[in-house]
Structure 1
Amino acid sequence: MATAGDAAGLAPVLALGLVGALGVGSQWLAWRMRLPGIVVMLVAGLAVGPGLNIIDPARDIGDLLQPMVAIAVAIILFEGGLTLNFESLSDAARGVRRLVIYGAPLGWISSTAALHYAAGLSWESSAVFGGIMIVTGPTVIAPLLRQARLKRRPAALLQWEAIVNDPVGALAAVLAFEVVIVLRTATDAGHAVQVLLTGITVAVVLGGIGGWGLARAFRNALVPEYMKVPVLFVSVLAVFAVSDATLHESGLLAVTVMGVYIANAHLPSYAEIRRFKEHATVLLVSGVFILLAANMNRETLMSLNLRTLLFVLAVVLVARPLPVLISLAFSDVPWRERLLVAFTGPRGVVLVAVAGLFGERLVSIGIEDGASIPPLAFALVAATVVLHGFTLSPMARALGVTASSAPGVLIVGGSRWSVKLAEVLQSLELPVMIADTNRARLRMARERNLRTFYGDILSEAAEHRLDFMPYEKIIAATDNDAYNTLVATDLAPEFGRENVFQFSREKHDKARHSLPPTLGGRRLGCGDTFEAARDRIASGWEFRATGLTEEFTLANWRDMNPNGVVMAELTPQMQLRLLDDSRKPKGGAGTTIIVLVPEREKRSSVQH
Structure 2
Amino acid sequence: MIDKVFILAAVVFVGILCQWFAWRVKLPAILFLLFAGIIAGPFTGWLNSDALFGDLLFPFISLSVAVILFEGSLTLRFHEIAGLERVVRRMISFGVLVTWLITAAATRLVLDLPWGLALLFGAITSVTGPTVIVPMLRTVKPTAAVSHILRWEGIVIDPIGATLAVLVYEFILAGSSGHALSHTLLAFARIVGIGLLLGSLAGYLYGSILRRHWLPEFLHSVATLGLVIFVFAVSSSIQHGTGLLAVTVMGIWLANMRDVSLEEILDFKESLSVLLISVLFIVLSARLDFHRFFHLGWHVVFIFLSIQLLSRPLSVMISALGSKLSWPERHLLSWIGPRGIVAAAISALFAIKLQAAGYSEAELLVPLTFSVIIGTVVLQSATARFIAKWLGVAEPDPRGFLIIGANLVARAIGRALQQAGFRVLLVDSNWEMIGKAKMEGLETYYGEPVSQHADRNLDLVGIGKLLALSPRGPLNTLSCMHYRMELGPKAIFAIQAAADMEMSKERKAVSHRKWRVLFGPEVSFSSLTKALAHDGWKVRSTTLSQTFDFAAYQLQYGQGAIPLFAVTPKGRIEVFTAEEQLSPQPGWTVIALVADPDRSLVVG
What SS does the aligned partner of 1:114 have?
Answer: helix
2:311 corresponds in structure 1 to: 319
* Equivalent in 380, 386, 393 of residue 378 of structure 2: 386
Equivalent residue number for residue 24 of structure 1? 16
Task: From 292, 296, 307, give the equivalent of 2:288.
Answer: 296
Alignment check: 8 A CA contact 1:49 1:297 kept: no
Shift of 1:256: 0.2
CA displacement at 1:533 relative to structure 2: 6.7
What letter corresponds to residue 367 of structure 1 in structure 2?
Y
| Structure 1 pair 29–179 and aligned structure 2 pair: CA distance change class (3 A) | same
Structure-2 separation of matches of 1:153 and 1:270: 24
Q: C-alpha separation between the residues in 1 aligned to 2:49 and 2:575?
A: 45
Equivalent-residue separation in structure 1 for 2:56 and 2:423 (angstroms): 49
1:384-423 C-alpha deviation (Å, 9 max, x unpaired): 1111121121111111112233373244649675454565
User: Does residue 237 of structure 1 match 2:229?
Assistant: yes
In the TM superposition, what are the counterparts of 1:489-504 in structure 2 within 5 Å? none
Q: Does the Cα contact within 8 Å between 1:407 and 1:431 map onto a contact in 2?
A: yes
Equivalent residues of 1:77, 1:163 under 8 A apart? yes
Distance 1:115 1:223, change over 3 A: same
The 3 A distance-change label for structure 1 pair 274 and 24 is: same
Give me the whole-angstrom Cα distance separating, in 2, the residues matched to 1:540 and 1:332: 45
Other structure's SS at 1:269 match:
coil
**Is 1:71 paired with 2:63?**
yes
Structure-1 separation of matches of 2:234 and 2:566: 56
2:507 maps to which residue? none
Q: Deviations over 1:266-295 (max 9, x none)?
A: 344312211221121111112211222222
Structure 2 partner of 1:528: 525
Alignment check: 8 A CA contact 1:48 1:55 kept: yes
Are 2:346 and 1:354 aligned?
yes
**TM superposition shift of 1:172:** 0.8
Per-residue deviation at 1:167? 0.3
Q: Does 1:98 pair with 2:90?
A: yes
Conserved in 2, the CA contact under 8 Å of 1:170 and 1:249? yes
- Residue 177 (structure 1) aligns with: 169
The corresponding residue for 1:197 is: 189
| Cα pair distance change 1:304/1:501, threshold 3 Å | same
**Residues 1:62 and 2:62 aligned together:** no
- Kindly report the root-mean-square deviation, in angstroms, between the aligned alpha carbons of the 2 structures: 4.7
Superposed, which structure 2 residues align to 1:396-435 within 5 Å?
Answer: 396-406=388-398, 408-411=400-403, 413=406, 418=411, 420=413, 423=416, 431-433=423-425
Show CA shifts across 1:111-139 (max 9, x none): 22222123432211111121122210111
Cα distance between partner residues in 2 of 1:383 and 1:132? 15
Distance 1:32 1:302 in 2: 33
Question: Which one of the candidate residues 74, 78, 92 is aligned to 1:82?
Answer: 74
CA distance, structure 2, for counterparts of residue 361 and residue 196 of structure 1? 20
Q: 109, 113, 120: which is aligned to 1:117?
A: 109
Question: CA, structure 1 residues 588+25, in 2 after alignment: closer, same or farther (shift >3 Å)?
Answer: farther
Q: Which residue of 2 aligns with 1:227?
A: 219
Distance 1:98 1:354 in 2: 23
Tell me whether 233-242 or 537-546 shows the greater mean CA deviation.
Answer: 537-546
Alpha-carbon distance in structure 1 between the residues aligned to 2:247 and 2:566: 46
- Residues 83-124 of structure 1 deviation map (CA, whole Å, 9 limit, x = unaligned): 111122224323212212321222222222222123432211
1:328 corresponds to 2:316 = no
Q: Secondary structure at the residue paired with 1:238?
A: helix
Cα shift at 1:52:
2.5
Q: Distance in 2 between matches of 1:366 and 1:562?
A: 88
- Separation in 2 of the partners of 1:544 and 1:292? 62
Matches of 1:430 and 1:393, distance apart in 2: 23
SS class of match (2:401)? strand
Specify the SS of the correspondent of 1:61.
Answer: helix
Identity across the alignment (%): 29
Structure 2: which amino acid aligns with 1:378? F
Please point out which of 342, 355, 368 is paired with 2:360. 368
- 2:151 is aligned with what amino acid? Q
Aligned equivalent of 2:6: 14
Contact 1:84 1:263 in 2 (8 A): yes
- Please, which moves more after superposition, 432-441 or 223-232? 432-441
State the AA in 2 paired with 1:299: H
> AA paired with 2:327?
W
Alignment equivalent of 1:164, drawn from 141, 153, 156? 156
- Secondary structure of the residue aligned to 2:209 is helix
How many Å separate the matches in 2 of 1:585 and 1:279? 39
Alpha-carbon deviation of 1:364? Answer: 3.6
Kept in 2: contact 1:359–1:374 (CA 8 A): yes
Partners of 1:389 and 1:26 lie apart in 2 by: 16
Contact 1:418–1:477 under 8 Å retained in 2: no
Q: What residue identity is the alignment partner of 1:313?
A: L
- Structure 1: which 5+ runs fail to align? 1-8, 444-451, 508-521, 547-556
Helix, strand or coil for the counterpart of 2:213?
Answer: coil
| Partners of 1:14 and 1:422 in 2: CA distance | 57
Number of positions where the alignment pairs a residue of Structure 1 with one of Structure 2? 542
Alignment correspondent of 2:133:
141
Which amino acid is 1:408 matched to?
Answer: G
Task: Pick closer, same or farther for the CA change 1:415–1:129 going to 2, 3 Å.
Answer: same
Output the TM-score relative to the length of structure 1. Answer: 0.76
CA drift of 1:177 comes to 2.0
- Seen in structure 2, the aligned counterparts of structure 1 residues 577 and 215 have a Cα distance that, compared at 3 Å, is farther
Q: Distance in 1 between matches of 2:203 and 2:417?
A: 48
Post-superposition shift, 1:195?
3.3
The 1:421–1:290 alpha-carbon spacing in structure 2 relative to 1, beyond 3 Å, is same
Question: What is the deviation of 1:182?
Answer: 3.1
* Residue pair 1:90, 1:465 contacting (<8 A) in 2 also: no
Per-residue deviation, 1:537: 9.1
